[in-house]
Amino acid sequence: MARISKSAAKERIEALSAELNRHNYEYYVLSSPVITDFEFDLKMQELQALEAMYPELALPDSPTQHVGSDLAAPKQEEKRGFEQVTHKYPMLSLGNTYSREEMLAFCNKIEAENGEKLEYSCELKFDGVAICLTYVGGELKQAVTRGDGVKGDNVLENVLTIKSIPRHLKPGNWPREFEIRGEIFMPYAAFETLNKEKEEIGEQPFANPRNAASGSLKLQSSAQVAERGLDCVLYHMLGEELPFSTHSEAIAAASAWGLPTSELSQVRKGAADVVDYIDCWDSRRKALPYATDGVVIKVNDLQLQKRLGFTAKSPRWATAYKFKPEQALTRLNSIDYQVGRTGAITPVANLEPVPLSGTIVKRASLHNKDQMDLLDVRIGDWVYVEKGGEIIPKITGVELSKRPDDAVRPDFPTLCPDCGTPLVRDEDQARHYCPNRTGCPTQTKAAFVHFTSRDAMDILAGDATIDQLYNLNLIRRLSDLYRLTKEQLMQLDGWQERSCDNFLGSLEKSKTVPYARVLYALGIRHIGKTTAKLLAKHFPDIEALEHASAQQLSEIEDIGDIVAASVADYFADPDNLKLIEELKAAGLQFAGGAAQKVSDLLAGKSIVVSGVFSISREEMKSLIEANGGSATGSVSGKTSYLLAGDKPGDAKVKKANSLGIEIIDEQQFYSMIGR
């Protein structure tokens, strides 16, 4: 880096520090970064170079001296209810490089100091969220996020839903207590399923599997986490007097105890052998079912690791070589504005076809107007395209040096591209919507496709059938499906007697679909399958749900203000109430979501459940409701008891104590219901 004046360096150091701290917050806390890892690392390297040039100008909170933190602001953490735990051993980050020369220099320096060619453990770098598991007596007792490296959030209840992580270890010679660290990640298949559902209910999809894993791990509902398809790989063991001489021995033992480790890790000897491993996986990783973004190289000898020690931010015995993201540069020809099922307007860039990661990319999402403004993208620009998590094409930047003189700044529409209705801005989701839910053809047809889908009413009608029925004016409201006759269907092109009978048979069968799925099928904005089940559980029939206020809805655990307002708004619309009456008359199920009642032993009691129990929290809540009680999500003056299991939320315990609310354990609860 060329030397610059001290005053210029001071100004640049302050700007870079503020920018990197902001990006750390967006990455770790919000799980919504606005720049790529590569761009972030380049900025970090520039800051490191400036601080090396003028050490006296480094700021006390410089991002070069601490790891990014996934801890939210204190008020947010209290609301989220996770207990903060101090790490027994600081949880640092790894140094990283995109340079082969720097990676070789790392190996050569250590070998020069020790006078021999060393063994290195080479491991794929999973693109997920760091986690630290603590086992005591063979049982998982704690699962803590990286946090700020000194303390993190205990997300044990959520981690226990991940199938690959055992609560109890297999028999073996494991230490009485030890920590093992690794990465929680979301495989591509689970990521695609999750994003499809988010798009269906009008929510912003996750940009990549890493963000999806991070957002999922911090959900308040362990039942929701269980449905997200998270997985885990563990790669670093810590403890007092571990009986291993090498890192690879420790990981092999962990695997034998039933812990998830990577079978793709290998021990290589010398820098040249490490390079061979990197070259191998730089291409082979693209066929893996999960995202990787590099290779981690660790000195295998544990005693040598101990001698090498740590810097303030990272270990000296390990580094990460990061693969450069595959990019393509192509021309942006035009932008389409698509209308989704819930009315959300999504800008989609039409690109000059370009090969990228084994496919030909022709289109890429621009997400929303804010993203377009941030990129300052224009029609005719040459743009950089990457695949987020090797799946979703996205535009990451504009090559300004190639911007043509006739490049046109796009005008985001103010009217719906389909029906011409003025668009409204959703500030919470940073999206524009068409509010003409019942009169916009695209929304109406998409609502029918959703209603008839397998996860909803499971009616034999795909996009082509819905288009045909809509274009012939046979359907406009969901209830119209149940008025169709065989005579009408037989008049349609391509319909035979058998196809008519199959279609009408599926309509009749749909009348037995459970209440929770009917709620999901209605297409209420922000209501996915999991939320629909939750609503059906708390409101055993549609009448009870219709009369629930936004305040009452928001008091339910895992129902936030946005979802509560959406549900309340839906049932405030007389046309929606009329539709439900029509569907009731057709024979659909609008009751039966509550647990079967067995007693009134808890009648009038409001109980908050927190912690880990011998059964799942959802089962515990079902027991409360089956015995006449109410399971609520937050402690208030109306709470009768706080039912606390192992590791209950610290904020909930403190609030219960401050309000004088009795705290009971699992056995006391069972005594109360005579179990």
Kindly report the CATH number that applies to the domain delimited by 437-512.
1.10.150.20
Residue-level pLDDT at 573: 93
CA distance 297 to 234: 15
- Give the pLDDT confidence of 517-560 residue by residue, as tens digits: 999 999 998 898 878 988 988 888 999 999 999 998 988 877 87
Catalytic residue list: 125
> First and final CA of the chain: distance in angstroms?
72
Rounded alpha-carbon distances, angstroms, from residue 63 to 14, 40, 68, 72: 11, 11, 8, 17
Q: CB within 8 A of 178, min separation 6: which ones? A: 134, 135, 237, 238, 239, 242
- Which one-letter amino acid corresponds to residue 397? G
CA distance 475 to 334: 34
Residue-level pLDDT at 388: 58
Kindly report the CATH number that applies to the domain delimited by 328-408.
2.40.50.140
- Give the pLDDT confidence of 295-344 residue by residue, as tens digits: 999 999 999 999 999 887 789 999 999 988 778 999 999 999 999 888 88
Q: Which of 574, 663, 661 is nearest to 610 (CA)?
A: 663
Residue-level pLDDT at 430: 72
CA 485 to the chain's CA centroid: 44
What is the number of residues in the chain?
A: 675
Kindly report the CATH number that applies to the domain delimited by 74-322.
3.30.470.30
Q: Which of 363, 361, 312, 316 is nearest to 335 (CA)?
A: 363
Q: Which of 508, 507, 490 is nearest to 499 (CA)?
A: 490
Helices (H), 235-391: 247-256, 271-284, 302-308, 369-375
The pTM for the full model equals 0.62
Range 606-672 classified under CATH 3.30.930.10? no
Residue-level pLDDT at 529: 83
Q: For the chain, which residues make up each domain, given as ranges? A: 6-57, 74-322, 328-408, 437-512, 606-672
The reply to whether domains 74-322 and 328-408 share a CATH topology is no
473's tokens: 């004016």
Rounded alpha-carbon distances, angstroms, from residue 671 to 388, 504, 615, 619: 52, 52, 16, 17
CA distance 132 to 597: 40
- Which one-letter amino acid corresponds to residue 520? Y
Residues of the chain with pLDDT under 70: 1-2, 26-37, 65-81, 202, 388-392, 427-429, 593-596, 616, 618
Q: CB within 8 A of 200, min separation 6: which ones? A: 341, 342, 450, 528
Residue with tokens 């700020």: 148
Helices (H), 539-631: 542-546, 550-554, 561-572, 574-586, 617-626
The torsion angles phi and psi of 363, rounded to 5 degrees, stand at -140, 150
Q: CB within 8 A of 532, min separation 6: which ones? A: 516, 517, 519, 520
CA distance 153 to 383: 39
CA distance 586 to 578: 13
Return the H-helix or E-strand segment holding 51.
helix 37-53
| CB-CB contact of 341 with 432 (8 Å) | no
Fold classification of 6-57 is Helix Hairpins (1.10.287)
DSSP class per residue in 408-463: B-----SB-TTT-PBPEEETTTTEEE---TTT-HHHHHHHHHHHHSTTTT--S--H
Residue-level pLDDT at 77: 43
For the sheet containing 266-269, what is the strand order?
96-97, 318-322, 292-299, 119-126, 266-269
CA distance 304 to 488: 80
Tell me the HSE value of 284 on the side-chain side, using a 13 A CA sphere.
9
CA distance 315 to 299: 10
